[in-house]
């Protein structure tokens, strides 16, 4: 809105406002705006959640040290979503369809998390939506993102070719055009792309959700992942950098840099209150929304295969749960870890909560730096 007012409308009369055309300037201000919103309305949100008695219910089978956290206000993801979406609305070009796609995806995943958290609060237990219902809704939203991207492709604004780390020339297209000419089976041409997008976005959403188990762990890793995405989005849309790094350049993608910057600022603002000992938890509202946002941005900028690096800690946490469940079912109750997700395993090994959080943040930073180095090492 400010971009529309200050640049598109007032720039012809006030030449000083030309500064608002620059993406880097608007990204910085979006980050600062998100941070200020988080810091300023954080206490109000915490007080309202306490007033409505919206507290966290700790699972009984979890570490006993976590039982003292029961009753801490949850559903703080509402604060995160406000802090991301308001600056994006203020500082981005709202005529850009990618901006709306990412914002609506974030809202949709946040709504799924809200429903899950609301059921937990109403029933006063740590069980919300069933796993099947939650996954079904996540896949539905992810499928909607895929269909929207296909519509953008039909107008020449998106490419379904994949970008592989370390490989410059290998860019397979996930839309199999050869199948599009078969009568009554033309929908098979886009099926691989739709399935891939659904797996990536829903997987990212669940991975962040599983990581949200210690004070500041998930949001700290999100700051690092969002920071890496800010860089990747900027270079993907920049005519010089994309050409130099031999990336698929999509000019309209660059506007998502503002959204990613807002995600960094919002996450830092939330960490102020979520740092150990946490005054508020993000709940499924926040974790699903952030995961959905990360996955959607990665797919939009064609860097979905870098997600194992961008969100390395999230992937490790998700893999630990998958391995634990698989081992338990296939090996007659034998477990690989003392407890999954992985952060609980290290807690039971005797690591303090603060040490687990700090070391996982370090791992997240290393993974993010590896993701950025792949841009040139191809």
Structure tokens at 316: 């490790």
Question: Which residues lie below 8 Å from residue 100, measured CB to CB, with a gap of 6+?
Answer: 94
Q: Is 233 in contact with 297 (CB distance < 8 Å)?
A: yes
Q: Is 302 in contact with 162 (CB distance < 8 Å)?
A: yes
Query: Which pLDDT belongs to residue 218?
Result: 95
Provide Rg for the chain, Cα atoms. Answer: 21
d(CA 119, CA 124): 8
Query: Which pLDDT belongs to residue 244?
Result: 76
- Determine the angle formed by the axes of helices 97-123 and 131-154, rounding to 10 degrees: 170
Please report how many Cα atoms fall inside a 13 Å half-sphere around the Cα of residue 117, on the Cβ side.
Answer: 27
Question: Which residues lie below 8 Å from residue 373, measured CB to CB, with a gap of 6+?
Answer: none
State if pTM tops 0.85: yes
Query: Which pLDDT belongs to residue 162?
Result: 83
Gap between the terminal Cα atoms of the chain: 39
Query: Which pLDDT belongs to residue 237?
Result: 82
Query: Which pLDDT belongs to residue 9?
Result: 59
Question: Which residues on neighbouring strands pair with residue 73, listed in sequence order?
Answer: 55
How many CB atoms are closer than 10 A to CB 183?
5
CA angle at 134 for the pair 60 and 122, rounded to the nearest 5°: 55
Q: Is 33 in contact with 100 (CB distance < 8 Å)?
A: no
Query: Which pLDDT belongs to residue 356?
Result: 95
Q: Is 264 in contact with 226 (CB distance < 8 Å)?
A: yes
Question: Which residues lie below 8 Å from residue 9, measured CB to CB, with a gap of 6+?
Answer: none
Per-residue confidence in pLDDT tens, the chain, 378 aa: 666 556 565 556 666 667 777 889 899 999 999 999 999 999 999 998 888 766 555 555 555 555 555 668 888 999 999 999 999 999 999 999 999 999 999 999 999 999 988 887 777 666 678 889 999 999 999 999 999 999 999 888 898 888 877 777 778 888 877 666 666 666 788 899 999 999 999 999 999 999 998 999 999 999 999 999 999 999 988 778 777 777 777 778 999 999 999 999 999 999 999 998 889 999 899 999 999 999 999 999 988 888 888 999 999 999 999 999 999 888 888 899 999 899 999 999 999 999 999 999 999 999 999 988 888 776
Query: Which pLDDT belongs to residue 131?
Result: 86
289-307: pLDDT as tens digits: 999 999 999 999 988 888 8
- Determine the angle formed by the axes of helices 283-300 and 131-154, rounding to 10 degrees: 30
**Mean pLDDT for the chain?**
87
Q: Is 223 in contact with 365 (CB distance < 8 Å)?
A: no
Q: Where are the alpha helices (DSSP H) in the chain?
A: 2, 23-51, 77-91, 97-123, 131-154, 191-211, 217-237, 239-244, 256-274, 283-300, 307-310, 312-330, 342-348, 353-373
């Amino acid at each position: 809105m400010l971009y529309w007012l200050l640049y598109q409308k007032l720039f012809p009369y006030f030449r000083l406002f030309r500064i608002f055309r620059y993406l880097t300037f608007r990204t910085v201000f979006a980050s600062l705006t998100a941070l200020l919103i988080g810091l300023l309305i954080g206490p109000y949100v915490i007080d309202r959640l306490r007033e409505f008695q919206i507290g966290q219910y700790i699972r009984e089978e979890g570490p006993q040290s976590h039982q003292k956290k029961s009753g801490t206000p949850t559903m703080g993801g509402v604060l995160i979503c406000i802090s991301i979406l308001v600056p994006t609305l203020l500082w981005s070009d709202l005529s850009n369809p990618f901006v709306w796609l990412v914002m609506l995806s974030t809202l949709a995943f946040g709504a799924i998390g809200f429903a899950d958290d609301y059921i937990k609060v109403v029933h006063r237990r740590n069980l919300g939506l069933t796993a099947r219902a939650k996954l079904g809704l996540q896949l539905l939203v992810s499928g909607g993102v895929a269909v929207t991207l296909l519509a953008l492709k039909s107008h020449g604004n998106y490419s379904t070719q994949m970008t592989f780390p370390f490989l410059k020339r290998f860019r397979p297209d996930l839309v199999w055009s050869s199948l599009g000419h078969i009568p009554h089976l033309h929908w098979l041409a886009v099926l691989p792309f739709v399935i891939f997008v659904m797996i990536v976005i829903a997987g990212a959403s669940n991975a962040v959700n599983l990581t949200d188990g210690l004070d500041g762990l998930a949001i700290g890793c999100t700051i690092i992942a969002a920071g890496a995405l800010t860089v990747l989005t900027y270079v993907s849309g920049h005519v010089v950098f994309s050409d130099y790094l031999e990336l698929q350049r999509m000019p309209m993608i660059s506007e998502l840099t503002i959204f990613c910057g807002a995600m960094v600022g919002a996450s830092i603002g939330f960490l102020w209150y979520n740092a150990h000992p946490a005054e508020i938890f993000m709940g499924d509202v926040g974790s699903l929304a952030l995961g959905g946002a990360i996955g959607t941005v990665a797919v939009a900028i064609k860097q979905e295969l870098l997600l194992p690096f961008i969100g390395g800690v999230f992937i490790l946490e998700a893999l630990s749960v998958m391995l634990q469940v698989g081992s338990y079912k296939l090996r007659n109750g034998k477990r690989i870890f003392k407890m999954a997700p992985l952060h609980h395993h290290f807690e039971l090994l005797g690591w303090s909560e603060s040490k687990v959080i700090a070391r996982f943040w370090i791992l997240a930073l290393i993974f993010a730096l590896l993701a950025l180095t792949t841009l040139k090492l191809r």
